[in-house]
Amino acid sequence: GSAVQMVLPNRPTQAELTTYFNSIRARVKGNIVFYGEPARVPVNINPPPKRIPDETAKRNVNPYAEPVRPQIQAPPPPEPKPDALPFQEVTTQVNQFLLDAGAAVRVNDAGREHGQIRAFSNSTYDVAKVVPTVVMRNEDFGRIVRLVQSGREVRLEFDIRNQVYPEGATAYNTVAEIVGTDKADEVIMMGGHLDSWHAATGATDNATGCAVMMEAARILLALGVKPRRTIRVALWSGEEQGLLGSRAYVEQHFGTAENPKPAWSKFGGYFNHDTGTGRIRAMTVFGPPEAATVLRNAVGPFSFMGIEGAIATRSRGLGGSDHTSFNAAGLPGIGTTLDPIEYGTHTWHTNLDTFERLIEADLQQGAIVIAAAVYQLAMRDELLPRFPPAQMPAAPPLRPN
C-alpha cells in the first residue's frame, strides 16, 4: 500500500476527532498509516556517565547526607480544554477508526536515536481490536514522512506473521532453594524476572538478574556452606505486565502486614537485581534504619568492588521491579542500584537488549555481593530488623493495572 500520514488534532473534542476521521477515511483504506509526526531526537552531546561517580554512590547511601534532588523543569500545564476527549478514549477511537476504515498496517515512530526500537504491547491485549502495528526506526519513519509531505508517493510492502498463543495466559514462577538447618522455616529470598520484551532477548531486562541470582546460589553451593535459614531463588514471570508473578507469590505465601500468613513473620529479606548489567553500587531495603545498617555491614567487606552500602526506605509503593511486591506487603524487599552502563540509553526494552551488551565482570561482582549478603542474613541470630506493628507505614491504595 501507499504511505499515508495521520496527525490528529491536538487534544481533540469529539466533534474535532470525527471531522478529522471523515477527512482522511478514504485515503486510509488499504494503505499504510504513519501515525503522528516524527520525533526530533537531538544528538546527545553530553551523554550520561555509564558508571555512577564514586562520590555520588557514597552520598546516596549516607543516611545523614542531604539528598540531591535533580533539577527538572516541569513542562507548563496545558491550557484547560474542558470538552477534550480523555487520552484513552482517543486511543480507543483511533484503533476502531483504523479497523473500520480498512487500514492495512499502522506504523509508529520508535522515536529513538540510531535505529533503536522500543516496542511495547498492544494495550488492548486483543488482536481483534487493532490493525497490525509495527514500530519503525526513527530515521526511516522521518525519511518516509518527509517524502510523503513533499507530495511523493511512497509504496511499502509488509510481511507480518503474528502468532497468537491462547494457552499463554498463564505465567510461571521458577523457584528453587537451599534448605536451611536450625532455622530452616525462616526464608531469605533473591530473584530476577524471566519474562522480557519481544524486540530482543531481554539480556539486561532481566536475564542479568536471573543469572546473577543463580550464580550467587551456585557460589554458596560450591563453598559447601550450611546456611541456618532457607535460601530461596525465585525467577519471576509477568513482571512486565505489572509484577504479576511476585505479587501473586507474596500474596499466596506471606500475605500482608495487615493480613499476614504465618510465613510473614518468618521472612528475612528479598534481594532483587533488575536494572541491567552494571555493578551493584547500593541497596535499598524496606524497613527501619537498623535494617540498612545490617546490610551495610554485610556488604562492607566488598566496598573495594564498588558496593557503597545500603539505605532504608519507608515506601510500600508498588512499581519498578519485583522487590516492591514485598515492600507493598510490609516485608523487607531489597532493591539494588546498579551502574547504569547503557540501560536507559540503549538496552531497556529495545532491540539492542542482547547478550552482546553485557559486562561479565560487573555481573560477577553482583553475584559475589548478593551471595555474601544473602549468606549473612541467613546466618545471623536475628532476622533483619522490621518495623514494629505500630510503626508500619501505611500501604498506598492499589492502583489498577
- Rank residues 274 and 362 by Cβ distance to Zn ion and give the closer one: 274
Residue 283 to residue 366: CA distance in whole angstroms: 11
- Rank residues 347 and 365 by Cβ distance to Zn ion and give the closer one: 347
Strands 183-193 and 267-272: parallel
Q: Walk across the sheet containing 133-136 and list its strands.
A: 3-6, 32-35, 105-109, 133-136
* Only segment of 137-145, 175-183, 197-205, 350-358 that touches Zn ion (CB under 5 A): 197-205
Q: Walk across the sheet containing 310-313 and list its strands.
A: 174-178, 229-236, 183-193, 267-272, 333-338, 280-286, 310-313
Residue 228 to residue 325: CA distance in whole angstroms: 25
Give the chain's count of helices (H) and strands (E): 9, 11
To Zn ion, the closest distance from the beta carbon of 246 in angstroms equals: 11
To Zn ion, the closest distance from the beta carbon of 239 in angstroms equals: 6
Paired residues of 283 in beta bridges: 310, 336
| 205 contacts Zn ion (rule: CB under 5 A) | yes
* Only segment of 10-18, 202-210, 225-233, 330-338 that touches Zn ion (CB under 5 A): 202-210
To Zn ion, the closest distance from the beta carbon of 202 in angstroms equals: 8
Q: Buried b / exposed e across 53-91, counting CB within 10 Å, b at 16+?
A: eeeebbebbeeeeeeeeeeeeeeeeeeeeeebbeeeebe
To Zn ion, the closest distance from the beta carbon of 367 in angstroms equals: 18
C-alpha cell at 26: 478514504
* Region 258-317 residues binding Zn ion, contact defined as CB under 5 A: 274
Q: In the set 206, 284, 336, 337, which binds Zn ion (CB under 5 A)?
A: 206
Q: How many residues form the binding site for Zn ion (CB under 5 A)?
A: 3
To Zn ion, the closest distance from the beta carbon of 206 in angstroms equals: 4
To Zn ion, the closest distance from the beta carbon of 190 in angstroms equals: 15
C-alpha cell at 16: 474535532
Question: Can you give the binding site for Zn ion, defined by CB under 5 A?
Answer: 205-206, 274
